[in-house]
Each structure stands twice: as structure tokens, then as C-alpha cells.
A and B are shown apart, each in its own frame.
Chain A
Amino acid sequence: MSTSALSTRGLDKSFGSLVVASDIALDLPPGERYALIGPNGAGKTTLINLITGMLKPDKGQIFLGESEITALRPEERVKCGLVRTFQINTLFPHLSALEAVALAVCERRGYAGSWWRKLPAYADAVEEAYAILQSLRLAASCYRPTYELAYGQQRLLEIALALATKPKVLLLDEPAAGVPQQESAELFSVIANLSQEIAVLFIEHDMNVVFRFAHRIIVMVGGRILLQGTPKEIAADARVREVYLGGARHG
């Protein structure tokens, strides 16, 4: 029996009487593309926060491959290969894209602690950072500070930072959020070209993206997993239509 790249068991979280996660059991096999959908307030981002360690669960366990990571700090989970991107751009405004990705690379390679050698001396890290930016077609503007980049480019930089950590499991929180039509093609090709060695779980509201890329869809409502299945199964399910595609409020 093959081990999932990422799995959770019995994950619970409440804020007082507000239940944001209830008995979440998730299994993400290696190399797969799963989508997590649900109405606003269903607890999708909360789940990502629980998995990455930004939020502590009341109960439950989280596994990366065979090892349990429930007790690890967020940065330790990243070192184990579990990485996320943010729904709202969480970047370094005054660092150039090159510097930002180089920082992530240096952290991974353990160079970030050294203060007696200048950054350009770590040629391998710089080359790797540049290569990542090239693969995401950000190389042309990588010398400019992040706040000067177009919104779509910033979304790509979000992903670049995640890729720089060489993840085994990648959690994308609404990667296409707010990206205008003209720039989204770029984003989609990046997602499509993500290495098959990475398992991806992405939250999305844009059903085009979901049906295009997901091998399997998980539907969350009110902190619980309602059901999971292939895109065909989900599209046909009356419950999902009722809760999300049909009657649910958006925004």
C-alpha cells in the first residue's frame, strides 16, 4: 500500500463555539493534483493554516509521507517539503524578485546563516534562483523591486518562492485570485508544468482552473468535507450544485 504524500486524520479546530474544522481526513497521493473547493467560510484556508502549522489544531494528526509532522513548527515543515502559497500576495515589497527567490534558495541550502561572505559569492544559489525565475518567465523583470511588478507577475512570484524550497507537497491558496484574463494563461501553463514529483492541493473558486487541472476534487462546507470525487462525479452531484455551484452566495 503506497503512502500518501500528505495526509490528515481527525483534524479538529474551533474558536469558541465557531467550528472551523471538524474531523478532517485527507489523503493526497504523490504527484497528484487535488482541488479543494467550497463556499466562502467553508474553512479551506483554515485547513491550509492547520496543515502548515500556522494554526494549532485542537485534535488530530498530520502526516507528510510516513512521518508525523503535527508537532513541527511551520519552518520545520517547509524543510520537510511541505510548502504553501498565500491567497493574498505575501511578498517582500522592497526586495527584487531575484533577491526574494535567492533568499528562499539560500534558506534551503543553509546559506542564510552566514554573514561573513557576500551573497554573489554563492553562485550556485544565485544561478538556481535565476533559473526558477526563468522557468516562470519572470527573469526579464527580476531586478526590479517586487512592489513594481504587475499583479499577475506577483502571483507568479508567490509560486516561485514556494518552488525555491523544492517542495514535495505544494498547497496553492487561490493561485488565480484576482488575476485578469490576459495574464492568467501564463499562470495556468506554470501550474500545468509543475513537476510530476510534486503533489499539489489547490484551493480555487475559478471552476475553469479546477476542472482543467484537478484529478480529484474535495468539497468542503462548514468546516467538514462534504464529499470527494473525480471532476465528472462532482459536476454531476446534486448536493454540490445546491451548496456551491447553484445556490450559495459568492463574495
Chain B
Amino acid sequence: MIASAFGVLFDGFAYGMLLFILSVGLSVTLGMMNFVNLAHCSFAMLGGFVTVTLTNELGWPFLASLPLAFLSAALVSVAFERVLYRRLYRASDLDQCLLTIGIVFVSVAVAAYIYGTIQQPVNLPSYLRGSVSVWGQSLGVYRLFLIGVSIVITAVLVAALEYTRFGAKVRAAVDNQRMARGLGIDVDRVFAVTFALGSGLAGLGGALAIEIVGLDHAFAFTYLIYVLIVVAVGGLGSIAGSFVAASLLGISDMAGKYYFPELGAFLIYFVMVALLMWRPVGLFGRR
């Protein structure tokens, strides 16, 4: 029983780390500009499909495709921000939701058109496959890799926020936009860069997700709900919040599927509603 409990914890935590990478960008940009970008997972999906194309069609090694997944998502998001999003910063929550949902619909249709509706395969290099034995537990290598990558990303993000000038500007803009502008910080630029980074991370997450949860044309929709749950429960604008919420969600989901399969996703939604009712701004949210 203990062995399987640890297994569930490990797999759940790995899944949670994936959700973290997917969600952290959205949490920070939502907290900063209050712009509801429901198309966040479309960028994730883009990153995933870039990796699929590079590794399957062009024979690139998996690891080499990851930076490109990041970059392509980041660049495309910049284009969207310039052309569309910029005009809706002052619009209502609802309008932003609807615009970005429209983009999700279009992205899902385009993905289906180009790649069809089947699950996309991914070729992992041999050193990322299989499992290793750690302290008597059998741990998946890919999941270890995923956890490792997430911890590195978290460390880099936190360090950047704390120790760089740009990070200070980001913190100021999240905390109090008007004040930050008053201090001479170019909030629009900070947002544009943060948005690109966040979307790039989503793209990376999409690429990493293929092995864990699979990738198909509906990814942008399917994982949107999970990302929203992480962001809402974790609290807007909080990296720590996303980390904790994503871990919680990943572990609950795994535990639910393992111990209470009849309940299905009931447990996740219940935990989310209960948590939000207890703390509407999220675990680490403000205001």
C-alpha cells in the first residue's frame, strides 16, 4: 500500500509540475494586466505540435526541439499581442474571455486540419525512457526529467524576479500597476515581455506534455480547464501559488484516478470549488 501511495505521489507530483509549467505564465500575466487569455493553452498546443513536427518529420532530437517549442510559442504570442490583445486591455472580462475563446476554437480547427484528430506520437530518446530504481521505488525516467526541468525553471523564475531589475519591475507591475507607471516603469513593455515568456513556457509545457498526457487537436480546450483551476486556486500573479496549486491538483487527480476511479474528475472540481469558496483570491492571491 505504501509503495503504491508513493508511486501515486510521485506520478501526481510530476503531473503537477507539468501543469505548473503550463500555468505559471498565465498566472503572472493575469495578475499583472488582468487580461484573461483563455488561448494560453493554444500556445501550449503550438509548442507541442512544433516538437511533433521537428522530431517526427525532420528527425530532430527531442531535447533540441524543446527550445524551439518555447521560441515559436513566444514569437506567435507576441504577434497576437500586437495585433489583437493590445486593443482589449481595457475591455470587460467577458469580452476578453470571448475573444480568446474564439482564438481557441480557431486553433483547434486549424490543428485538426493540419494534423488530423488522432493522438500525436513522440519519439523520446532512449535515455529518457524506462525507469530507474531509487530507494527501492521504481521511478519513471521521463517523470524525473520533468520534475528536474520544472525545478530548474522555478529556480530561474524566482531568481530572476528577486535579483534582476526586470524582475523588480515585474513585481512592481503585478503589485500596483498605477503606482508602477507613476514610477516611470514602462508597464506595457514589461507586460509584453512577460507575456511572451509566459506563452513560451506554455509552449515548452505543451512539448513536454506529449509523453505524459498526449497531444491532440483538442489539447487547447481540454487542458484549459486544468490551467484555469491552477491559476484560480493558486492566486493570480503568484509563482508560489501556481506551484502549490499545480502540485495539489496533480496529486489529487492521480490519487482520485487511483483510489476512487468511479468518482472521475469529481474530486478535482470539488476541491477547486471548496478552495475558491474558502479563499476567493486563491491560496497566494491578494486583494
Q: Do chains A and B touch in the complex (CB under 8 A)?
A: no
B residues neighboring A (CB under 8 Å): none
